[in-house]
Structure 1
């Protein structure tokens, strides 16, 4: 299980955009790990990550890591989240779309 503190998310992951999911209150954020250029890593977290306690660990719902050979490794994590009914494959696909739009300079926040 991949987890981060709220400080790691705030300091190391740039916001690419926000997604709404029918039936879930609030938005999901697509964030890109700022220190990885050649092999980007994206995470999808609920916007309530800001409210986590100081030492609380936050498990992104989705982690997408691009490998050196161009493959995408999508890790879907539902074990420690309250969002059991969210279509994680759709979140993965939409996160990658945000990344590609941002990469080409045409991304605006998408609700």
Structure 2
């Protein structure tokens, strides 16, 4: 299995949040993780950082921010230039999808947790 460095956008220290569960599961599956969120804290030993630092080695951005709050992250996502963006359920956004397509960044509507659980990440 190849490691896919993943940036979880919308990371939260709330164990009830899917972004929290995704960071934990990615760590368990030995994928390097960058957790990005608005509040400080850590998940599974991964410090949550504020959006801003552009990571140039990201394979996947796993999106856990609803469409109504995504516009402030457009530049950040595009400058990060991942191989793909996973739109987890409830994050689908045609405007962002168009921007990704124009920049040659792949995307899929999927659930990071499901992809990991079936070995299809």
Report if TM-score (shorter chain) is over 0.5.
Answer: no
- Which protein has the bigger helix share? 2
Q: When the two structures are superposed, what TM-score results if normalisation uses the length of structure 1?
A: 0.31
Q: When the two structures are superposed, what TM-score results if normalisation uses the length of structure 2?
A: 0.29
Greater relative CO, 1 or 2 (CA 8 Å, sep 6+) = 1
